[in-house]
Structure 1
Amino acid sequence: MKHTVLIACPDMAGLVYKISSVFLSFHLNIERNDEFVEKQSGQFFMRTLIKGTCNPIELEAALSAQLPQEAQIKVVSEKKKSIIILCTKENHCLGDLLLRYDSGELDGEIKAVISNHTNLKDLVKKFGIDFFHIPAENILRQEHEKLIAEVCDQYAVDFLALAKYMRILSPSFVAKYTNKIINIHHSFLPAFIGANPYKQAYERGVKIIGATAHFVNNHLDEGPIIAQDIIKIDHTYTWQDMQQAGRDVEKVVFAKALSLALNDRIFIYGNKTVVF
């Protein structure tokens, strides 16, 4: 059986030796190891894929005994994580995730899709996935989010994927799913905010289009960044061409970020990430 071991702690001499010695004492084989030291803070990060039979709780305890008191240690068993997608009306990110899931490219299980509109219901049903319409009209935001949380809790969800979900989440909802909500948006921020950013960018004559995927926190679009990408454009692009190009980048970046999260490749440190 395979496990992923995630360790974050202050850096010091002999850490890798101590950790490897614990693995050896449990008769575990290291199949892959990634490590990084953030020089400014002196923080050590290590992700190790191990193979063998072990009790995760006992392994964590053994590692804890060898590492600094501040060490954060997590042993993750090999199993597919559950995802719930939240969407509104735009179909490109949702449709891309559904296709990847259907073809076995997504290392997780899409349990349900929740939307405040019914526009994408038929698309979701084609993939045999549960669709929940939870309208937001004439209801307080807290009540609306309570209904969403009730659905999420039915499935013991690991991650919420905001596939162009066009509603701002409350601090209480974000706190309930800390470091479990992943969002995607264009990379023009903080420039070209408000309505139709692609038209604003066209009028400014931009030469690149990009997308950013990040964890959601209580600062709008300022959570820890997971993945980004860009493509080059030129003067021949209309704002509609730019919008389509932006959607293509959003799909790829969103899927990549979700895959990294599903495979336990992300450490969150302050408002930054270490991605292996």
Structure 2
Amino acid sequence: MNTQILILIQCQDDVGLVAKISNTVAQYRLNIVTMREYVDEESNKFFVRLVCNGSIDQPSHLQESLKDNLPPNAQITINPSERKKIIILVTKEHHCLADILIRHHFETWNTDIQAVIGNYSELEEFTKKFNIPFHYVSHENISKEEFESKIANQISIYPFDYLILAKFMRILSPDFVRKFKNRIINIHHSFLPAFIGANPYRQAYTRGVKIIGATAHYVTDDLDEGPIIVQDTRRVNHTYTVQDMMTAGKEIEKAVLARAIRLLLEDRVMLDGNKTIVFE
């Protein structure tokens, strides 16, 4: 019985890589349905995402065959988990969480939400309406180290692929980020670095901005500077009040985060240092 097989490869670029990959896949009687490749000429790196039809008893044999035909240290992934697991971290804002939970409820995505963890309890009742566990971990009256240790303990209960910061308004320490390297995804408004701190929409309104937006990115040690997955913007004008800007901003934030999550769940994002290659 034929099934769909996903192959992800990144390696140093070389002459004839597409032909070598195609010939190797053909030897296993796999039919290439889609093949999206990209070469970063600056770093001389090659990235490819293949979707094939066919059947294969031993993916490891195909992986070894590909390695034999690719440059040294090639990274090859065959059939990554089709139904990924996510944990969501929240504070008080509901718009991103609500969008994710509704999509999950109607099975828009092929994923399992393991739990929601919040440093306030405001979103607990809403989360439980979807029969998803909610863990309240307060950050108040304890050190940052103790708070993050408690968060990590809750996370450790569940297997997961990604931590989604759905407006989780706490800065994570480098130690915490390293513990979950390349697995933490954040959403923030795109006023940074122009309007940082409290009330960014009030600051933007006062300044008279004409474009607002949002960015979904990997979390790294550098605050809000991790590899970008998705960005989007929306035009505003002088008639927008602060509340209008906030409403428009939240709509963009949840749309951008949802798009980023979908791309990750479908294995369409490949990391290259502080950049991403996104095969949409």
Which TM-score applies when normalising by structure 1?
0.96
Matching of residue 213 in structure 1 with residue 200 in structure 2: no
Corresponding residue number in structure 2 for 1:136:
139
Provide, for residues 67-87 of structure 1, a one-character-per-residue CA deviation record: whole Å limited to 9, x for no partner: 000321111345200000000
TM superposition shift of 1:9: 1.2
TM superposition shift of 1:43: 1.3
Question: 1:121/1:51 Cα in 2 relative to 1: closer, same or farther (>3 Å)?
Answer: same
Corresponding residue number in structure 1 for 2:40:
38
TM superposition shift of 1:138: 2.2
Matching of residue 258 in structure 1 with residue 261 in structure 2: yes
Question: 1:76/1:153 Cα in 2 relative to 1: closer, same or farther (>3 Å)?
Answer: farther
**Long gaps (5+) in structure 1:** none
Selected match of 1:172 from 170, 175, 188: 175
Matching of residue 98 in structure 1 with residue 101 in structure 2: yes
TM superposition shift of 1:147: 2.1
Corresponding residue number in structure 1 for 2:241:
238
Alpha-carbon distance in structure 2 between the residues aligned to 1:86 and 1:22: 42
Question: 1:150/1:56 Cα in 2 relative to 1: closer, same or farther (>3 Å)?
Answer: farther
Show the 5 A alignment for 1:59-138.
Answer: 59-77=62-80, 79-138=82-141
Give aligned-pair identity as a percent.
51
Kindly provide the amino acid, as one letter, of the partner of residue 134 in structure 2: F
Selected match of 1:267 from 248, 270, 273: 270
Selected match of 2:53 from 42, 51, 54: 51
Kindly provide the amino acid, as one letter, of the partner of residue 43 in structure 2: S
Kindly provide the amino acid, as one letter, of the partner of residue 41 in structure 1: S
Provide, for residues 196-245 of structure 1, a one-character-per-residue CA deviation record: whole Å limited to 9, x for no partner: 11100001110111000000000000000000001111100011110110
Show the 5 A alignment for 1:19-30.
Answer: 19-30=21-32
| Conserved 8 A contact 2:14-2:71 | no
Report the count of equivalent residues. 276
Kindly provide the amino acid, as one letter, of the partner of residue 70 in structure 1: N
- Which runs of structure 1 show a deviation greater than 3 angstroms over 4 or more consecutive aligned residues? none
TM superposition shift of 1:151: 2.3
Matching of residue 151 in structure 1 with residue 154 in structure 2: yes
Alpha-carbon distance in structure 2 between the residues aligned to 1:138 and 1:57: 51
TM superposition shift of 1:175: 1.1
Kindly provide the amino acid, as one letter, of the partner of residue 271 in structure 2: I
TM superposition shift of 1:41: 2.0
- DSSP 3-state at the match of 2:97: helix
Kindly provide the amino acid, as one letter, of the partner of residue 203 in structure 1: T
Alpha-carbon distance in structure 1 between the residues aligned to 2:118 and 2:88: 8
**Long gaps (5+) in structure 2:** none
- DSSP 3-state at the match of 2:35: strand
- DSSP 3-state at the match of 1:154: coil
RMSD: 1.2
Alpha-carbon distance in structure 2 between the residues aligned to 1:141 and 1:179: 21
Alpha-carbon distance in structure 1 between the residues aligned to 2:141 and 2:61: 51
Alpha-carbon distance in structure 2 between the residues aligned to 1:70 and 1:229: 35
Task: Say which is worse superposed, 215-224 or 134-143, in terms of deviation.
Answer: 134-143
Provide, for residues 85-104 of structure 1, a one-character-per-residue CA deviation record: whole Å limited to 9, x for no partner: 00000000000101111111
Provide, for residues 52-71 of structure 1, a one-character-per-residue CA deviation record: whole Å limited to 9, x for no partner: 33223222221111100032
Which TM-score applies when normalising by structure 2?
0.95
TM superposition shift of 1:20: 1.2
- DSSP 3-state at the match of 1:118: coil
Alpha-carbon distance in structure 1 between the residues aligned to 2:51 and 2:152: 33
